A and B are shown apart, each in its own frame.
Chain A
């Protein structure tokens, strides 16, 4: 399988009056073409910042983002425009990500007008085709966002992201604002589009059942650091990092007979401002020791299953 996106030691720091926020700290992974990489973590873990850096809405502080063999952190403005045609983003909140003064057709057409790739007539034709593709009735062409429900608005957001035929789409919590029955419609739509157009997704969410459903591979993040990554199926069978274990056990299950043994974590997420070196989860980790305050390396504990924890072998009784 060919890799489409490769991220090496990517960092994003924000300077604030109280110190430097380490929003994304030294994250490395790759996404294969035509697959979905799920990024999970709780609020403030840096997953949205990561997504925004990948489509260059946010400049990275250090590290590489290699898209189709080219480091896009170093692009000139002109090449950047080209790059943006290949990589798009769908935002979380369909209520605020659409221009309230644009009709449905205006919103979908806009990227095509900006790119200059299409004639007026072509853009018009493609708008119709895209609306049909994402399931918006033609009669809503001239409707404004406030006239649409959340599910339809998100469909407009998706059509807009597809307007330039991108290869890669960052989906930043695209279903979090939607009700369960509508959420399922949108998840099915995203999956169908991926199969038809061989799209590559990075799917950011805090909802673990959603991420399990849609992803091929998963990265678990905690306070800007990548703590565990593996193929999706493996991760839900076996978790190695203590945070991943706690996170998965915290999900309330709809199975009323088989209750999981819950690991209730003590305390809350610590501050990402000027953090000490080492594992950021150590403060809440039941297995924390001296060694945890050293920088942690991602280690391959099973084929394609990487964990950043110095005690991983001890906790999980693995051979050294």
Chain B
């Protein structure tokens, strides 16, 4: 691991603890990200992707959410150790998040302009006329005419609302952007517009980004690095090429097999049999073993660790082999 990585998440463990049960949402997750890179966090519903993002931004609902262990270092500073006051200065300025559903993440009784201005005014000591000017510039940047500053969210379509959400997130030129399924609620032609916009802004501001998605096509388009999450663990991580050209974990391989493809004709898809495990009652050994076609006795009992099978390509599977081994 290089010491100069911009973001370092180490052994993060998050649980949701209620009287009845404990949900093991994030189990010993580690990854790192260099400045200006885009990391794709891929996984299915309930894998723990959003919990990871919320923990980084420190907006985990608590109780029941509890960080049990681990550290999240941004430029060497562990955000989990900061006080709430210190965090408030960082949130919105240094780290921001785009939430999945643009329909519910905007305030319906504030104009979109005010919502962008709010962030700018909070983090910058500048006169209000200047704030408005910057907010208008931000609207223009995401492709919305500045004249629409005084309109309310309900006057915007889904794609436009998501642009507003992006404008709010990027208003203070954050160092780290957490984008949680930013285009999932959008139609494919609108998604194409929003992805182009995010790519452009990313390049311009050199923003480090974590993109959470279940869409492997979006990952292929946007990301430099990929981490595949299953049952709260990173099961495979590496460069985009490692994951897409040489997937090594049976779950990653399974995901690609289950996907209907535009460039190939197959009679039958190869689904991953079974269901993801119950997060309150995770299996012993490898968490994927009950669904895995290559499962052996060892898989069910051994602790499985992330192994580096090729430089920078990590896999959590005792049967995984390197590309050149």
Chain A residues engaging chain B, CB cutoff 8 angstroms: 42-43, 149, 151, 179-185, 187-188, 191, 206, 208-210, 212-214, 233, 236, 246-256, 258-259, 262, 264-265, 268-269
Q: Are B275 and A151 in contact, with the CB atoms below 8 A? A: yes
Q: Are A181 and B268 in contact, with the CB atoms below 8 A? A: no
**Bound-state Cα–Cα, A268 to B256, Å:** 32
253-271 of chain B: CB within 8 A of chain A: 254-263, 265-266, 268-271
Partner of B259, one of A209, A258, A264: A209
How far apart are B118's CB and chain A's nearest CB, in angstroms? 26
Known pairs A180-B214, A255-B263. 8 more at Cβ < 8 A? Answer: A188-B268, A212-B260, A213-B266, A250-B188, A252-B217, A252-B221, A253-B221, A262-B196
How far apart are A100's CB and chain B's nearest CB, in angstroms? 20
Partner of B269, one of A151, A184, A233, A246: A184
**Bound-state Cα–Cα, A212 to B262, Å:** 7
**Bound-state Cα–Cα, A7 to B267, Å:** 29
CB-CB nearest 4 A-B residue pairs: A252-B217, A184-B271, A213-B260, A184-B258
How far apart are B279's CB and chain A's nearest CB, in angstroms? 13
Q: Are B187 and A209 in contact, with the CB atoms below 8 A? A: no
Q: Select the stretch in B65-73, B238-246, B298-306 that faces chain A.
A: B238-246
Closest A residue to B187 by beta carbon equals A42
Q: Are B189 and A236 in contact, with the CB atoms below 8 A? A: no
Asked whether B137 is an interface residue with its Cβ less than 8 Å from the other chain, the reply is no
A187 and B260 contact, Cβ closer than 8 Å, known pairs A181-B271, A181-B272, A268-B160 = yes
How far apart are A281's CB and chain B's nearest CB, in angstroms? 11
Q: Are B262 and A209 in contact, with the CB atoms below 8 A? A: yes
Residue numbers in A under 8 Å from B92 (CB-CB): none
How far apart are A159's CB and chain B's nearest CB, in angstroms? 18
Q: Are B245 and A256 in contact, with the CB atoms below 8 A? A: yes
**Bound-state Cα–Cα, A249 to B158, Å:** 21
Q: Are A181 and B262 in contact, with the CB atoms below 8 A? A: no
Chain B residues engaging chain A, CB cutoff 8 angstroms: 44-45, 157-160, 187-193, 195-196, 214-218, 220-221, 240-241, 244-245, 254-263, 265-266, 268-273, 275
Q: Are B220 and A254 in contact, with the CB atoms below 8 A? A: yes
Tally inter-chain residue pairs, CB-CB below 8 A: 116
**Bound-state Cα–Cα, A43 to B103, Å:** 15
Q: Are B215 and A188 in contact, with the CB atoms below 8 A? A: no
Residue numbers in B under 8 Å from A212 (CB-CB): 260, 262
Partner of A188, one of B220, B254, B262, B271: B271
Residue numbers in A under 8 Å from B245 (CB-CB): 256
Closest B residue to A150 by beta carbon equals B45
Q: Are B272 and A208 in contact, with the CB atoms below 8 A? A: no
Q: Which of A210, A248, A269 has the most CB of B within 10 A?
A: A269
**Bound-state Cα–Cα, A179 to B254, Å:** 13
Partner of B157, one of A208, A255, A268: A268
Closest B residue to A268 by beta carbon equals B157
Partner of B44, one of A180, A236, A253, A256: A180
Residue numbers in A under 8 Å from B159 (CB-CB): 268
Q: Are B160 and A180 in contact, with the CB atoms below 8 A? A: no
**Bound-state Cα–Cα, A183 to B270, Å:** 10
Residue numbers in A under 8 Å from B216 (CB-CB): 180, 254
Residue numbers in A under 8 Å from B187 (CB-CB): 42-43, 206, 269
Residue numbers in A under 8 Å from B158 (CB-CB): 43
How far apart are A106's CB and chain B's nearest CB, in angstroms? 23
Q: Are B260 and A250 in contact, with the CB atoms below 8 A? A: no
**Bound-state Cα–Cα, A281 to B157, Å:** 17
Partner of B275, one of A149, A188, A256, A268: A149
Q: Are B271 and A185 in contact, with the CB atoms below 8 A? A: yes
Closest A residue to B241 by beta carbon equals A256
Closest B residue to A40 by beta carbon equals B188
Residue numbers in B under 8 Å from A213 (CB-CB): 260-261, 266, 269
How far apart are B238's CB and chain A's nearest CB, in angstroms? 13
**Bound-state Cα–Cα, A246 to B193, Å:** 12
A179 and B262 contact, Cβ closer than 8 Å, known pairs A252-B220, A252-B221, A256-B241 = no
How far apart are B24's CB and chain A's nearest CB, in angstroms? 18
How far apart are A201's CB and chain B's nearest CB, in angstroms? 15
How far apart are A195's CB and chain B's nearest CB, in angstroms? 10
Residue numbers in B under 8 Å from A209 (CB-CB): 259-262
Residue numbers in B under 8 Å from A269 (CB-CB): 157, 187
A265 and B275 contact, Cβ closer than 8 Å, known pairs A179-B45, A252-B218 = no
Partner of B256, one of A151, A179, A247, A254: A254
How far apart are B139's CB and chain A's nearest CB, in angstroms? 16
How far apart are A188's CB and chain B's nearest CB, in angstroms? 6
Q: Are A253 and B45 in contact, with the CB atoms below 8 A? A: no
Q: Are A268 and B190 in contact, with the CB atoms below 8 A? A: yes
Q: Are B44 and A179 in contact, with the CB atoms below 8 A? A: yes
**Bound-state Cα–Cα, A206 to B39, Å:** 27
Residue numbers in A under 8 Å from B263 (CB-CB): 253, 255, 258
**Bound-state Cα–Cα, A248 to B241, Å:** 24
Q: Return 12 A-B CB contacts under 8 Å, by A number.
A: A42-B189, A179-B214, A180-B259, A183-B258, A184-B259, A187-B269, A188-B268, A246-B189, A251-B262, A254-B244, A256-B241, A268-B160
Residue numbers in A under 8 Å from B191 (CB-CB): 250, 252
A208 and B262 contact, Cβ closer than 8 Å, known pairs A180-B255, A181-B272, A188-B268 = yes
A254 and B259 contact, Cβ closer than 8 Å, known pairs A184-B271, A187-B269, A213-B269 = yes
How far apart are B114's CB and chain A's nearest CB, in angstroms? 23
**Bound-state Cα–Cα, A253 to B240, Å:** 13
